[in-house]
Structure 1
Amino acid sequence: MKLAFFAARRVHQTYFAALADHIKKTGLQASVIWHKALWMDVRWLLRVTPADEALATLVDDHLREKQNSRKGRQRRDTYWRIFRTIKRLEARLLKAVYQQALIRSQATHVLLWNGLKFRQRVVMAAARAAGMQTLVMENGLLPGMTTMDARGVNFLNSVPRDPAFFMSYSGHWPTRSSPVPQRPDGLPPAYIFIPFQVNTDSQIVLFSPWLKDMFALTDALLKAEQALGEKMPCVVMKTHPACDQDYTGLAASLAEKSQRIQLWQSGDTQALIRHASAVATINSTVGIEALVANIRTLVLGQAFYDLPGLTLHAGDQTALERALLSLADFSPNPTLRQGLLAYLHNDYQVPGRWQEADEAHLTAACEHLQRILASNG
């Protein structure tokens, strides 16, 4: 068994190098592949294959990601037709380049970061073509932890989806009490907090079937307010600091059109979560933060933590309006909540932040990796 770490960013290359060195001490073979200059091994030319459905799908997903960007919204259809053609060719060539690099590494397993972006998905396609298994890593779902999974991240991860699993889980979730931030001025007495997400993020592009961006989310809430009238609960939304979209006009429009919906373009997200009577999210990790804080949670997209009895779900406009009315009376099952959080803390997550990879974290990551490899043959 041999492991290859595939790095597309310098910070991941550095981390993977430290992890690979640590793994070698356990007797496993490991190496790090840096994505640049791989094309210089010209044997990849022999591995170029015709376009297939999987590559076409990931190119189309990448196209929708780019179309969701601030600049992308200004592009014409002609631009996107050319973009698709070029990216389909690029995907075929990159797959051949990556496949050659992986075969040269003689790895049996490939570990990469996230696995949902364009190049990363091409790497996974190349690994499959080479007969190799893939693993992925990502930022932690809980504070001070890191994710490692043999299946994927976010909605694709291997966290069980059966509530019965967590109802019978015997592990302990170490309850943490953190000080509640000061309540920001200008909040309604009671409100549902909804965090905006980055329009180009894979969480929106891949796992939000009916709300394609934050404008669609806002439109759905305005329709709900029109339908529910005085029964519509107050909603406070907040823009994402990493999103390049300008929402100034949207905030001003909401101030004119709505009596119940606000859009904040700054503010302390933690304070907005902790003072909310409920949280609604498409699939943000804010949903996990709400569960940790024991706040009622409504999920509007596809999220691994969206479990019957733990959260409410709205997959269309009618369900959204119904959920907005019932959210205040919803009571999450405490045993289910305890079981999920305990499982994430004790079994699923790697202790320590990868950005601060000390000896304890590297040891824990190696042990976690060995358990995954053992359980997956």
Structure 2
Amino acid sequence: MADVEFIYSQRNNYDPLKAVLGLRLDCAPFKLKDGLKEFFRTHGIGELGRLFSDKGCSIDIRPSIEHNLLRRQIRLPALYSNPLSIAFYRATTAIRSRLSAILIEDRLNAYPDASALIFNGFMMPASLLMEAAIQRSRPMVMMENGFFPETIQCDTKGINFGSTLPRDAEFYRWVAPRIAGELPQTLVKRSSKQKGEELTNLPADYIFVPFQVPSDMQILAYSPWIKDMKHFYEVLYQLAETMPDRHFVIKEHPSFPLSIKKHIQPHPRIIFANHNETRKLIEGASAVITINSTVGLEAISIGKKVVVLGDAPYEMPELVTSARSIDQLQTALQGLNDWQPDETLRQVFLRYVYNIFLLPGSFKAVDAELVDRIRKRGNGADQHSQLLAEYQALQQDKGSVA
């Protein structure tokens, strides 16, 4: 039997990882045909009924099905708003999900020492592997694209807000003398799926508001009060009505093809600049309002004031100001001129994120060095893991003395 180190269950980045890890990576089939072949080969046709029974596997498949359904309702509302299409989707997806879950369970049982290697973890079948790993207390290595170009998120707990990246200013003050490295300079660029021209007549004083993908994990899991981008616009509209000196410039997310512009009431002081360069929009703004976008992190990196509305990995009161309601948001904007982020914390935090927390590399060019970094993060042998452990031990010692 091969010495399997990681269990995987997703199409994303599988080939580059497999090319380096070889037999040390085992992946449950993500194609239906391949999955059925394996099921019949390993379990036999007599076990077919498991695919149609709630007791067919031990993994709870319902959250994953509902997440996938919600994403489809957001992206294809006409198709997935009909009760019959919803019922059909749930029924058929349940069968396929049980198939994936059973094959994932087979691997976890066959390789008790293997870690679960999970990309994002919010979409199937990766979400099923994550559920199974948590259920069995199996070590996990969570991965996602990094906040900056040529970087990768890699964590043993989660991604974005769900990661082990500390949101404790005292941690960064403690770690400051022990880290170095340059500050990030650029943001990941995405090509727009909407047609139009760059605006050149923006207001002299405006707040930049980057919209996000409404079907993304960042909104569905980490946005406690802004439901979607139409709701976000409605909040801005109310602000514009009550704050006549404020102008807002919106850029809809370039990776999401559906615009809200046909579904909202225009406001003379809310401007859409969908085709302007994000970096320039940040640079020209007096502040940035974001739910939890990586644009907020770039705004921090060039010294802009940031107002955060959701759960963000960079949310610390000394670094950004937060709002969890429209009243809090209005109060935050009214006091923005008198509020300043902690400059020392800003620089230390960015250096830590860029040079220690994020792994250098790209899923487009996976090599042995990147895999070794992923392995060390998973084993707790990297600098980030060691610093966390040391700081936590110090806090425990302080608590026991007190």
TM-score range for the pair, normalised by the shorter chain length: 0.7 to 0.9
- For 1:312 and 1:270, how far apart are their aligned partners in 2? 21
Asked if 2 retains the 8 angstrom alpha-carbon contact of 1:136 and 1:148, the reply is yes
Alignment counterpart, residue 29 of structure 2, candidates 29, 32, 35: 35
| Secondary structure in 1 matching 2:140 | strand
Asked if 1 retains the 8 angstrom alpha-carbon contact of 2:155 and 2:377, the reply is no
- For 1:105 and 1:41, how far apart are their aligned partners in 2? 18
1:15 paired with 2:16, answer: yes
Give structure 2 stretches of 5+ with no counterpart.
187-197, 390-402
TM-score (norm 2): 0.79
5 Å-filtered alignment, 1:85-234, equals: 85-129=91-135, 132-170=138-176, 171-175=179-183, 185-226=200-241, 228-231=242-245, 233-234=246-247
Asked if 2 retains the 8 angstrom alpha-carbon contact of 1:111 and 1:136, the reply is yes
Q: Percent sequence identity over matched residues?
A: 26
- For 2:89 and 2:98, how far apart are their aligned partners in 1? 14
Aligned-residue Cα RMSD (Å) equals 3.1
Asked if 2 retains the 8 angstrom alpha-carbon contact of 1:109 and 1:135, the reply is yes
- For 1:177 and 1:38, how far apart are their aligned partners in 2? 44
How many Å apart are 1:361 and its aligned residue? Answer: 3.8
1:371 paired with 2:365, answer: no
Check 1:64–1:184 CA distance in 2 against 1; reply closer, same or farther (3 A cut).
Answer: same
Q: Name which of structure 1's ranges 98-107 and 208-217 shifts more when overlaid on structure 2.
A: 98-107
- For 1:250 and 1:318, how far apart are their aligned partners in 2? 24
Q: Name which of structure 1's ranges 42-51 and 152-161 shifts more when overlaid on structure 2.
A: 42-51
* Residue in 2 that maps onto 1:84: 90
| Secondary structure in 2 matching 1:169 | helix
- For 2:248 and 2:20, how far apart are their aligned partners in 1? 44
How many Å apart are 1:73 and its aligned residue? Answer: 7.6
Alignment counterpart, residue 286 of structure 1, candidates 284, 295, 302: 295
List 4+ stretches of structure 1 deviating above 4 A.
43-49, 51-54, 372-377
Q: Name which of structure 1's ranges 54-63 and 142-151 shifts more when overlaid on structure 2.
A: 54-63
How many Å apart are 1:362 and its aligned residue? Answer: 4.4
How many Å apart are 1:105 and its aligned residue? Answer: 4.2
How many Å apart are 1:357 and its aligned residue? Answer: 3.3
Equivalent residues, number? 359
- For 2:173 and 2:20, how far apart are their aligned partners in 1? 35
| Secondary structure in 2 matching 1:219 | helix
| Secondary structure in 1 matching 2:319 | coil
How many Å apart are 1:74 and its aligned residue? Answer: 6.5
How many Å apart are 1:162 and its aligned residue? Answer: 1.6
| Secondary structure in 2 matching 1:111 | strand
| Secondary structure in 2 matching 1:168 | helix
TM-score (norm 1): 0.84
- For 2:54 and 2:140, how far apart are their aligned partners in 1? 21
How many Å apart are 1:112 and its aligned residue? Answer: 1.9
* Residue in 1 that maps onto 2:8: 6
- For 1:74 and 1:99, how far apart are their aligned partners in 2? 30
Q: Which residue identity is paired with 2:300?
A: L
Q: Name which of structure 1's ranges 76-85 and 314-323 shifts more when overlaid on structure 2.
A: 76-85
5 Å-filtered alignment, 1:245-256, equals: 245-250=258-263, 253-254=265-266
- For 2:35 and 2:91, how far apart are their aligned partners in 1? 23
* Residue in 2 that maps onto 1:25: none
